[in-house]
Amino acid sequence: MNETIYWLMRLNYDKKNKRGDMMKVWEKNIRKVVPYTPGEQPEGKDIIKLNTNENPYPPSPKVLEAKANLAKLRLYPDATAKNLVSVLAEYHGLKENQIFVGVGSDDVLAMCFLTFFNSEKPIVFPDITYSFYDVWAELFNIPYVTKALNDSFELVAKDYYGENGGVIFPNPNAPTGLIADLDFIKDVLEHNQDVIVIVDEAYIDFGGESAVSLLKEYENLIVVRTFSKSRSMAGIRIGYAMGNAELIQYLNDVKYSYNSYTMNYPSLVLGVESVKDETYFKDTVSKVVATREWFEEELTRLGFTYPKSSSNFVFATHKTVPAKEIFEAARKEKIYVRYFDKPRIDNYLRITIGTDEEMKKFVAFLEKTLGYNS
């Protein structure tokens, strides 16, 4: 079985970093972790930035025109984020006590790891997935096992059966962009009724069916969303979790034991405006999806293969030219895509969908680099 088992209760950081000899006495009791590496944020003119799955379009005009009363910064923000929670509850047809908000879904997911994954049994997630999951597991000393995606990069339901300390996966998965259907999620839930199952829906607005509809049926399900992708608001840092009221209460208890005021006042105001503008949201998402469909065809023409994407990025490999070469050549031309030097995926590029104009420039770059004629 192609299964990698990690029982890393503590990282052997000193050995890895060859610092054993030089260690000061006070360093011995310091928590040492290997952090998550975020994508590059290059600055400068004429950059085509397709490396961190941001939305190429601005936030809703309602957000841009909103007037947050900055004199109010004098006060602490509303710790309960009531207005934002309320519009999100209405948007999803849930009760207010079923919504937990945080500083981007990274904050929400970290809180979920801390709150729900408190078993001695290992939690389970895919081997190729969002690379923050193992970082949180190690930070919080949560044992974990990873399950290999199959050769088509799909999650295999039966890998998630059996005793464990909880399950988490993104849907669509990242960096593959592949969606699992609701039958798959139900199957996983049916086989994991005694633990919490978290579905990270960072990219769900770009394709596929949301697991939110399953919340009625499964009290151990948590669905996590973000404003960073489909709502074009990565810079504001808003994410949220949905689940039954009891689970949300547990999340809030942990949050209020750590930092009550995570959501700043401007983000609370602007977040509400974004949720209110459904028309703009839908238009933006459909523009990204239309560009993605066009771009996938272009990739095929240029000799790439890729799992069919349901997100705002495509995970592609070329039949002859190594991904790393394309990545480096693109960078020289100020085109940034994401390359992961990791087993199984080191010949793939994750390419975020930009505007039509940006993608046309990227395709022109590929034609030139790969020696194709348009």
Binding site for ligand PMP (CB under 6 A): 104-106, 130, 170, 174, 200, 202, 226, 228, 234, 239
Query: Which of 109/363 has CB closer to ligand PMP?
Result: 109
Query: Which of 143/172 has CB closer to ligand PMP?
Result: 172
Spell out the SS3 assignment of 79-116.
CCCHHHHHHHHHHHCCCHHHEEEECHHHHHHHHHHHHH
- For residue 41, the 8-state DSSP code is -
Q: How far is the CB of 172 from ligand PMP (least distance, A)?
A: 8
Chain position whose Cβ is nearest to ligand PMP: 104
Taking the C-alpha atoms of residue 266 and residue 262, their distance in angstroms, rounded to an integer, is: 12
Q: Among residues 71, 68, 69, 79, which one has the least CA distance to residue 262?
A: 79
Query: Which of 164/232 has CB closer to ligand PMP?
Result: 232
What are the phi and psi torsion angles at 251 (to 5°)?
Answer: -60, -45
Q: How far is the CB of 300 from ligand PMP (least distance, A)?
A: 25
Taking the C-alpha atoms of residue 105 and residue 111, their distance in angstroms, rounded to an integer, is: 10
Q: How far is the CB of 133 from ligand PMP (least distance, A)?
A: 9
Judge contact between 85 and 238, C-beta under 8 A: no
Q: How far is the CB of 137 from ligand PMP (least distance, A)?
A: 15
Owner of token pair 């070329």: 318
Query: Which of 84/302 has CB closer to ligand PMP?
Result: 84
Query: Which of 54/159 has CB closer to ligand PMP?
Result: 54
Q: How far is the CB of 51 from ligand PMP (least distance, A)?
A: 11
Residues 6 or more apart in contact with residue 325 via CB below 8 angstroms: none
Query: Which of 174/299 has CB closer to ligand PMP?
Result: 174
Q: How far is the CB of 292 from ligand PMP (least distance, A)?
A: 16
Q: How far is the CB of 130 from ligand PMP (least distance, A)?
A: 4
Taking the C-alpha atoms of residue 309 and residue 189, their distance in angstroms, rounded to an integer, is: 24
Query: Which of 318/338 has CB closer to ligand PMP?
Result: 338
Residues 6 or more apart in contact with residue 337 via CB below 8 angstroms: 50, 51, 326, 327, 330, 349, 350, 351, 352
Taking the C-alpha atoms of residue 365 and residue 354, their distance in angstroms, rounded to an integer, is: 14
Judge contact between 155 and 126, C-beta under 8 A: yes
